Structure 1
Amino acid sequence: MTVKVGIADTTFARVDMASAAIKKLNEMTSNIKIIRYTVPGMKDLPVACKKLMEEQGCEITMALGMPGGKDKDKVCAHEASQGLMMAQLMTNKHIIEVFVHEDEAVNGKELDWLAKRRAEEHAENVYYMLFKPEFLQKSAGKGLRQGFEDAGAARK
């Protein structure tokens, strides 16, 4: 059975995170059809994801965005995130939000690495959600993070 997966990304991002996510998904399975939809900015992602689900029949989407480091960029990211949550509730389908804030990295090289790694690790989550949900259940409570080091489980 082939499952449609939507990938929504932006031209505002400084790294092509979609290509990293698509490559990872294709490495993990041949049972998907990826539909990519690129929009100008982060606030365009909620409708892009909703359109991917409703008009293209995607079962799940990834929303890839890169807010800048200024306060107004953080506000835009928050608004986009709120829209993504609303789109999930309206469609009853998951949207995996993959945002990498520019100020998470110390330089362009680290930003490139972080954005691609986070996109790849969230792509793995999409795969597990679709095909092996038991893997995620076994990983519950382990403090796993996408991008930088895992936090690990809290100790008693």
Structure 2
Amino acid sequence: MKVGIADTTFARYDMASDAIDELKKRVSVDIARYTVPGIKDLPVASKKLIEEEDVDIVMAFGMPGPEDIDKRCADQASNGIINAQLMTNTHIVEVFVHEDEAEEKNLPEVAEGRARSHARNVIKLIKSPKKLIKDAGKGKREGYPDLGSIRR
């Protein structure tokens, strides 16, 4: 298994290192990492990892700031990531932590939890995607406690 890791220098926490640690603890994996300046650079970084490094899947890490411009940039990056997935027929797992989704003192815990949870999801997507079926509709959250399902 070869996993691409795309991350940014703009982020205030190194989620990629947590994800790499989690992946290596659980499976034998090769890592190709590509760090870019900003969140809008993630789509091309992800696509290059797929096409030039022959990865099986990519994790794209970003930490948008709290301003409106940051939210617009994050939305543009998400759209670019979706386009890169469709162009390459390869999963790119978007792992964004918005700076305003938690108090600053709690952001490292959220970021680490999200990175590690998504690393485990990546393993499932590559090794045994049917394992995700049992969790469908269960309100799973990465970086926060699960919400659980709603039932009639």
1:89 and 2:64 correspond: no
Aligned residues with identical type, % of pairs: 59
Runs of 5+ unmatched residues, structure 1 = none
Q: Could you say which residue in structure 2 is the equivalent of 1:119?
A: 115
Q: Could you say which residue in structure 2 is the equivalent of 1:50?
A: 47
How far apart, in 2, do the equivalents of 1:132 and 1:91 lie?
Answer: 20
How far apart, in 1, do the equivalents of 2:134 and 2:70 lie?
Answer: 36
Deviating 4+ runs (over 6 angstroms):
none
Taking the TM superposition and a 5 Å limit, the aligned residue runs for 1:14-93 are: 14-30=12-28, 32-93=29-90
- Classify the secondary structure of the residue corresponding to 2:53: coil
Deviation sequence 1:21-61 (CA, Å, 0-9, x none): 0000001101x211111000000000000000000001100
How far apart, in 1, do the equivalents of 2:24 and 2:71 lie?
Answer: 32
Deviation of 1:151 after TM superposition, in Å, equals 1.4
The residue identity in structure 1 corresponding to 2:51 is E
Deviation of 1:110 after TM superposition, in Å, equals 0.6
How far apart, in 1, do the equivalents of 2:50 and 2:14 lie?
Answer: 22
- Classify the secondary structure of the residue corresponding to 2:69: helix
Runs of 5+ unmatched residues, structure 2 = none
Q: How many residues align?
A: 152
TM-score, scaled to structure 1: 0.95
Q: Could you say which residue in structure 1 is the equivalent of 2:143?
A: 147
How far apart, in 2, do the equivalents of 1:17 and 1:148 lie?
Answer: 15
Deviation sequence 1:68-101 (CA, Å, 0-9, x none): 0000000000000000000000000000000000
- Range with bigger deviation, 145-154 or 76-85: 145-154
TM-score, scaled to structure 2: 0.98
- Classify the secondary structure of the residue corresponding to 1:98: strand
Deviation of 1:134 after TM superposition, in Å, equals 2.3
